Amino acid sequence: MADQEYLALYRKYRPVDFDDVRGRDAIVRTLKNQIISGRIGHSYLFCGTRGTGKTTIARIFARAVNCENQRDGNPCGECPTCRAILADANLNVTELDAASNNSVDDIRAIVEQVEYSPTQGKYRVFIIDEVHMLSNAAFNALLKTLEEPPSYAIFILATTEPNKLPVTILSRCQRYDFGRLSTGIIEGRLREVAQMESLEIEDKAFRYIAGAADGSLRDGLSLLDQCNAFNYGSGLLTYDRTLEILGAVDARVFGDLYRSIHEGDVTKALSVLDEILLQGRELMQFVTDFTWYLRNLMLLKASEQTAGSLDISADNLQEMIKEARMSDMEEIMRCIRVFSALPDLIRYSPNRRILTEMTIIRACRSAMDDGAEGEEMLPLEKIKNRVREMENRVYNNERSIDRLEKEGPGPAAAGAFSGGIRDDRSAAGGGGTPEASPASPAVKQELPPALPEEIKKIVENWSKYASQAPPGSRRIALTRARLSLGDQGQLIIIFDKEYGNPYLYQRRDKDEASRSRVDEDRRELQAFLQNKTGRAIEIEYRVLDRGRRITDNYVDLLSLVDSGMIRMDIETED
């Protein structure tokens, strides 16, 4: 019989008047003043997360406005009206759970009831819980009545998601936001209930239960009820037993795990995880709590003045301050990124432990890599990292090439074109058939970190541009040419010796006017490309030795077009 009469703690100790409500001083004061002054609104909207007192205050308000013996805005709880409402036997107060009664017919039934005046008391109060679950048709049916209800009708709408309500509903209600309750308020209420229930609980256990409630007093009382049931007949409820009941882990274990990650000690970090699992702790809860631990560590690293706002015991606080001082902000934030992504991975995975171990190993290796971003980086971030390395190598190679050219047997004489092709004839060289120099650098070029937009456009459209050249050797040479990028950002056009020589050298030993013709062609090509791209393009001609491939010495930009790499935008950081 006793079991049948038992009530859960959150129901047994639900506030019965405004003075018994905790943490809602502003809302309570406003509602009490309305009741005392008689300026009662016709529609109210109570918004907030679960277990924060929305329905409780709505019921107290319904009793208070109908109470025959109000006491400073509070219901007396003794008059026939108050007793009937408490017993759910008063027809003047109607509650509707919109989560399961969300059709237009359910709302029409409410609207029909509004037409009848109260049989007992002054007001008819309609409490609609989870109102955001109503259908659009139901909202439309409610709208007119909510806008102009009878003087005796009061609507109280409660919701956890006010953003889902139509604006037309929001504009017709007085809105009250029920934020999460502080840990201190929840802990104080838990102590009151424990005292009334004659429960013996450690202070540290109170603090943990209050923190685990996550701002919901109802959740806190439910957790206290759960712990009390587990500890029934065992005397004092200790902190360790509380952790065991709730499947949670002590903050000291989180400290051990973080120090192992900081030191890059994979063996020790995995042993900490193994110990936690052997104790039967819930893996998802462990990951969530450890991420929260890292968050507190990050705030302490940012400023130790934030310690007062953190829900941490004095003993754990000193240890966390030490850990924050030995770490850098990037390391802590890297761990937060890694472990924040883990819950989504393991939520529906049959291999939760494996994924958690992989994450811990990744975090340890990231800590061992001095300044490395770790494997958790997105592919684009890894590409950026590789590009930065390539920039350094290209820069060093270019300096080596410049030094070799300066220290060599002597610079090659200018060729037929002032800014163009190189050859190996000396400045005073005589006649004979000219031979093109392998104008290739000693070290192979690498992919530039980022192609200029104008070069990228030329490369992507080169086939079309080359086909617009005048017929003859010029078009043939340009069509068969390959493209690369010089160290000064110039466009290098590399000709095959078989097709390039007839075009470039056919006038080399003739009069000056004939030789300048090719140079004029180059300037025309520069003007043509500038017209297409909107930017001035410097062009350099080179000829590839017979038997050599372009990839031996150059980055062939045209081949990158075929592979799709040239269209990939790569952002670099300074």
Shared-domain flag, residues 11 and 141: yes
* Below-70 pLDDT ranges, the chain: 1-4, 308-309, 311-315, 367-450, 497-516, 546-547, 561-574
Shared-domain flag, residues 312 and 328: yes
pLDDT at 229: 86
Shared-domain flag, residues 189 and 114: no
The answer to whether residue 389 is domain-embedded is: no
The answer to whether residue 122 is domain-embedded is: yes
pLDDT at 304: 78
The answer to whether residue 35 is domain-embedded is: yes
Shared-domain flag, residues 59 and 75: yes
Domain count, the chain: 4
Nearest to 68 by CA among 87, 83, 55: 83
Q: Show which of 218, 246, 274 is a domain's final residue.
A: 246
Quickly tell me which residue has 């701002």 as its tokens: 215
Tokens of 293: 């631990």
The answer to whether residue 384 is domain-embedded is: no
Specify whether the backbone of 233 is left (phi greater than 0), alpha (psi in -120 to 50) or beta.
Answer: left
Residues 490-529: pLDDT tens digits?
Answer: 888 888 766 655 566 554 444 555 556 777 878 888 888 8
Q: Show which of 201, 226, 246 is a domain's final residue.
A: 246
CATH code (residue 221): 1.10.8.60
Residues 507/510/512/517 CA torsion (nearest 10 deg): -20
Domain hosting residue 229, numbered range: 183-246
Phi, psi of 178 (to 5 degrees): -100, 95
Shared-domain flag, residues 117 and 150: yes
The answer to whether residue 375 is domain-embedded is: no
pLDDT at 159: 93
Under DSSP, is residue 226 helix (H, G, I), strand (E, B) or coil? Answer: helix
Shared-domain flag, residues 131 and 145: yes
Residue 55 Cα to chain centre, angstroms: 33
The answer to whether residue 146 is domain-embedded is: yes
Q: Show which of 201, 217, 246 is a domain's final residue.
A: 246
Shared-domain flag, residues 324 and 214: no
pLDDT at 423: 40
pLDDT at 349: 82
pLDDT at 18: 92
Give the whole-angstrom CA distance, residue 102 versus residue 391.
Answer: 62
Nearest to 483 by CA among 466, 469, 505, 506: 466
Q: Are 161 and 131 in contact (CB under 8 A)?
A: no
The answer to whether residue 429 is domain-embedded is: no
Shared-domain flag, residues 164 and 190: no
Query: Quick count: other Cβ atoms within 10 Å of Cβ 208?
Result: 24
Shared-domain flag, residues 240 and 281: no
pLDDT at 547: 67
Burial 31-55 (b: 16+ CB within 10 A, else e): bbebbeeeebebbbbbbbbebbbbb
pLDDT at 178: 92
Give the whole-angstrom CA distance, residue 218 versus residue 225.
Answer: 11
Query: Quick count: other Cβ atoms within 10 Å of Cβ 282?
Result: 15
pLDDT at 409: 43
Shared-domain flag, residues 319 and 234: no
Shared-domain flag, residues 411 and 551: yes
CA angle in degrees (0–180, nearest 5) for 175-178-180? 155
Terminal Cα-to-Cα distance of the chain (whole angstroms): 75
Q: Which residues touch 361 (CB under 8 Å, ≥6 apart)? A: 266, 269, 270
Does the pTM surpass 0.85? The reply is no
The answer to whether residue 385 is domain-embedded is: no
Give the whole-angstrom CA distance, residue 63 versus residue 463.
Answer: 84
Shared-domain flag, residues 260 and 222: no
DSSP 1-28: -HHHH---HHHHT--SSGGG--S-HHHH
CATH code (residue 357): 1.20.272.10
